[in-house]
A and B are shown apart, each in its own frame.
Chain A
Amino acid sequence: MKERQQEYERLIAPIEDRMMRAVWRVMRDPNEVEDAFQEALLTVWKRWDRICIHPNPQALVLQISINAAHDALRRKLRHGRLLETDVIPEDIPDASPSAAQGISDAEQETHVLRAIGLLPKKQARAILMHAVEETPYGDIAAAMDCREATVRKHVARARAKLRSLLSHLIPTVHKEESSHA
């Protein structure tokens, strides 16, 4: 019993807040975040023994939390419950800053989350761990059980995909890349 208490204090207690935030940032739905969080905790429970001996257990727990949130986000997308009235335009002829500024912050957040939900799992998890949780590549690699170079590749591909999906939100980048093309 005492051993388990110590394990919890060592593995979970220091990152409780980060776990909750990681799920909330992706889910942003008061009704569904609890289920996603419960799903994450259930996964942690199932993998407890391996988490205890993992070289970077906290990165692994964070990744589990993000995975649960991302899975919930994808389910929501599949069921058309996210932005069902908002369709991200395939192309915005007028990619000027003024056009981008025409989108509210709330809409921008929704567009970004939807784009993340459209990413392949590994790319989405890698970019969320890197950009949102600011986890070092090495820790992400340990959590994803792959090489660091693979993580960088996932992140790069995620960015590229997000650029194409969110070009209307980042006109300058879009322009430059268009000119390169």
Chain B
Amino acid sequence: MRDQDANDEMDELIRRSTQVEIPADVEDRLRHRLAEFRTRVEQRPPNRWRSLVYSLTYRPPVRVMAMAAAVLVAVAVGLVLIPREANASRVYAAAAEQLRNAQSIEYSIVLNETPYVGIDFSYAAPGYRRLNCSWGIEVRADHTARKQIVLMHMERMYVAESGKQVEGLANSEDLVEQLLSLPPAAGRVLGERQAGGRRLIGYRLPNATLGASFPGLKSFDMWVDAGTRQADHVDIAIAEQGKPVYQMHIRNIRVNGQVDRSLFDLTPPAGYTVITAASAAANASKTTPQQNALVLQAQIRRSDALNVVLLPMTGSYAQTQAALERVAFYLKTIGMNPAGSPLGRFESEQNWDAGYPVPAGTHVEAPFRFETLPPALVAIVVVNGPWGKDSDARWGAFLKSVVEQGYVPVGQPMEKWTGEDGKVQTQSTEMSIAVTKAN
């Protein structure tokens, strides 16, 4: 306390001895100096370089703290971001390795985002493959035995092949060779994006390793689920000389899942007529008796918006009835009556859904989904007869009519079913697809 008093006393003595007013004439002279100084300052050219150099070299405590903060940030970058980059590399490596060693792979290939132009693909080691194209062609191949069967569902015909040509046909379509031989390191990390609550990391693969199998390959981007370290989807851009760039997408990738071995059965379905490979092309252009009998006239019109509850599905379309029953049961449990006929929307066997129209604002829980189908220009036709009968032939005739009228499909095929179950004479199917005027 006495030290403090002594300090205060000393400070007071200094203060008292220095607290004097500046004489007016002195103050005037000093102010004159200040005015001159101000003028010089205001005319001083900016010297940003000197400021920058000084800012880097001067070390007051605050700047030391700032530098310390910068060092901490750098350390954080070192500890978090760089490992994050390294982690991203590991995520890719894990996904690529899984694909290289896959015992089975299933996915869909979508061309130019046009859903009906898609391919469902299944692979099972060591060499079984199956392609199911949305345009009615199915290829089943056993590369170990060098055999394959090409099924033309619309024509109800098939071609059985063996020998060298087997590999050629399947490889040109399925992309599996590329997935089974992915490079161990990606070219570069594209970044991250969220999809359905999952964190996806994108990788652009080097063209050098894939370009040989993709003439005109522009980019091959694989997106991997950072959580499961499994490939989620692949976006491919191809720019062949003289042609516009087109996009291919590998979606719904499932690795090492249970694959139905009957998909690879090389036995032709009952009722299919065998043709030779040489005559296949010629026959493909001919109409079958069935198609002669089935001529559909699509109507082009604008559809109304439609509120629906859908159950997302994957796998065989044969599950349609079961899916509709499940939706109907769910609607009943929430005290809701369907507002219209059941419907199905078919992008591919890996991604389709079925459900019922419902009032607007209906709230449902997963896995069910409420959706409002927007108004659109659609091609539509109603076919009387049993539901699902000759579906491929119906769709072939329907799409033929669409194209003949100068339109091209741009949406997913949709069917609505009316009538009573078990009474085929009451049953009818409304087929529709969003279209746009062909150029």
What number of B residues sit within 8 Å (CB to CB) of A? 42
A108 with B17, Cβ < 8 A, contacts A4-B41, A4-B43, A53-B58 known: yes
For B14, give its contact among A19, A56, A131, A177 (CB under 8 Å): A131
Measured CA separation A131–B37 after assembly (Å) = 28
Interface residues of B in 1-21 (CB under 8 A from A): 2, 6-7, 9-11, 13-15, 17-20
Contacts of A170 in B (CB 8 A): 9-10, 13
Measured CA separation A1–B40 after assembly (Å) = 11
Measured CA separation A38–B37 after assembly (Å) = 9
Measured CA separation A52–B54 after assembly (Å) = 11
* Binding site secondary structure of chain A: helix
Q: A166: CB under 8 A from chain B?
A: yes
Q: Which residue of B lies closest to A34 (CB)?
A: B29
Q: A41: CB under 8 A from chain B?
A: yes
Contacts of B59 in A (CB 8 A): 145
Tell me, rounded to whole Å, the shortest Cβ–Cβ distance linking A153 to chain B.
13
Q: A28: CB under 8 A from chain B?
A: yes
Is B40 within 8 A of A30, CB to CB?
A: no
What 1/0 flags go to A94-119 for Cβ under 8 Å of B? 00000000000000110111001000
Measured CA separation A163–B10 after assembly (Å) = 7
Interface residues of A in 16-59 (CB under 8 A from B): 16, 19-21, 23-26, 28, 30, 33-34, 37-38, 41, 44-45, 48-50, 52-56
A-B contact count (CB 8 A): 130
For B18, give its contact among A132, A162, A169 (CB under 8 Å): A132
A142 with B37, Cβ < 8 A, contacts A109-B18, A159-B7, A173-B10 known: no
For A113, give its contact among B17, B26, B47, B55 (CB under 8 Å): B17
What 1/0 flags go to A118-135 for Cβ under 8 Å of B? 000000000110111000
Is A52 within 8 A of B51, CB to CB?
A: yes
Q: A3: CB under 8 A from chain B?
A: yes
Contacts of A25 in B (CB 8 A): 18-20
Q: B60: CB under 8 A from chain A?
A: yes
Q: A12: CB under 8 A from chain B?
A: yes
Q: A86: CB under 8 A from chain B?
A: no
* Binding site secondary structure of chain B: helix
Is B41 within 8 A of A177, CB to CB?
A: no
Measured CA separation A145–B62 after assembly (Å) = 10
Q: A176: CB under 8 A from chain B?
A: yes
Measured CA separation A56–B17 after assembly (Å) = 27
For B60, give its contact among A52, A142, A172 (CB under 8 Å): A142
Measured CA separation A34–B9 after assembly (Å) = 31
Measured CA separation A50–B13 after assembly (Å) = 35
For A8, give its contact among B14, B27, B29, B38 (CB under 8 Å): B38
Is A48 within 8 A of B41, CB to CB?
A: yes
Measured CA separation A56–B61 after assembly (Å) = 11
Is A176 within 8 A of B6, CB to CB?
A: yes
Given A53-B58, A131-B11, A147-B61, 9 other A-B residues pairs in contact with their CB atoms under 8 A: A4-B43, A48-B44, A50-B51, A52-B51, A109-B17, A109-B20, A116-B14, A128-B18, A159-B11
What are 17 contact pairs spanning A and B, CB under 8 A?
A3-B46, A4-B41, A20-B34, A34-B33, A45-B40, A49-B51, A50-B54, A52-B51, A112-B13, A112-B14, A116-B14, A130-B11, A131-B15, A142-B61, A172-B9, A173-B6, A176-B2
A residues within 8 Å of B by Cβ? 1, 3-5, 7-8, 12, 16, 19-21, 23-26, 28, 30, 33-34, 37-38, 41, 44-45, 48-50, 52-56, 108-109, 111-113, 116, 127-128, 130-132, 141-142, 145, 147, 159, 162-163, 166, 169-170, 172-173, 176-177
